[in-house]
């Protein structure tokens, strides 16, 4: 069951992955920050809304200045989470 819960990430570790990367806009900041995540378990169950729109809504952001992403994966896919972080005002 190796790798059965694929989660987007630029790098993967065998036992644990904890990676963050920018959304293409370097130095994007703002007075507000919102985060939205989706989770996968064993490749059998997945739920959540990791969209930019959900992240902005969760942070009360109406004008997005940029996004970042992070992923966490445990034991090559037993559990995985992908998050989008939005910045803006």
Model pLDDT, residue 62: 96
- In this structure, what token pair is assigned to residue 16? 């644990």
Q: Give dist(CA 50, CA 66) in Å, integer.
A: 15
- In this structure, what token pair is assigned to residue 62? 């109406």
Q: Give dist(CA 27, CA 6) in Å, integer.
A: 28
Hunting for tokens 């992908």 — which residue is that?
82
**pLDDT surpassing 60 at residue 2:** no
**pLDDT surpassing 70 at residue 53:** yes
| Strand partners of residue 71 | 19, 82
Full-model pTM: 0.85
């Amino acid at each position: 069951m190796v790798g059965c819960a694929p989660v987007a990430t630029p790098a993967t570790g065998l036992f644990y992955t904890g990676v963050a990367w920018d959304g293409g806009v370097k130095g994007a900041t703002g007075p507000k920050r919102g985060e939205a995540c989706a989770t996968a378990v064993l490749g059998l169950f997945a739920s959540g809304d990791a969209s930019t729109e959900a992240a902005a809504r969760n942070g009360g952001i109406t004008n997005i200045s940029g996004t970042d992403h992070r992923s966490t994966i445990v034991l090559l896919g037993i559990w995985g989470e992908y998050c989008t972080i939005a910045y803006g005002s």
